[in-house]
């Protein structure tokens, strides 16, 4: 689950993603669905990244939304575990 707040065409909007379902402001949902139809190559963390229907999985959906839906992201919240301090990326 994640939630992103930011601006789209100078309008403050919020999108929530949980279990493959988008909720929030209609402008943001419409833009996310429109951007989802474009080919951006692989989005999300590899190897779980996908190259089409980005809204099908959480990490690619987050990548699409934060990079291509909002003009400016002002707040992000998620329920993901923090990586181990020993993690290597």
CA nearest neighbour of 40 among 13, 17, 65: 65
> In whole angstroms, what is the distance from residue 75 CA to residue 89 CA?
24
pLDDT tens per residue across span 1-26 = 999 999 999 999 999 999 999 999 99
Closest CA to 55 of 47, 45, 65: 65
Long-range contacts of 34-37 (CB under 8 A, 24+ apart): 35/64, 35/68, 35/69, 36/64
Query: Which band of pLDDT confidence, cut at 50, 70 and 90, is reported for residue 84?
Result: confident
Q: For the segment 27-81, what is each residue's pLDDT rounded down to a tens digit? A: 999 999 999 999 998 888 766 677 889 999 999 999 999 999 999 999 999 998 8
**Distance separating alpha carbons of residues 81 and 74, to the nearest angstrom:** 21
pTM, two decimal places: 0.86
């Amino acid at each position: 689950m994640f939630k992103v707040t930011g601006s789209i065409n100078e309008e403050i909007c919020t999108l929530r993603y949980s279990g493959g379902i988008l909720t929030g402001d209609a402008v943001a949902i419409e833009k996310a669905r429109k951007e989802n139809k474009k080919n951006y190559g692989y989005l999300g963390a590899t190897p779980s990244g996908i190259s089409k229907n980005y809204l099908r999985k959480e990490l690619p959906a987050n990548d699409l939304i934060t990079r291509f839906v909002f003009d400016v992201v002002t707040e992000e919240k998620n329920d993901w575990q923090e990586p181990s301090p020993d993690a290597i990326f």
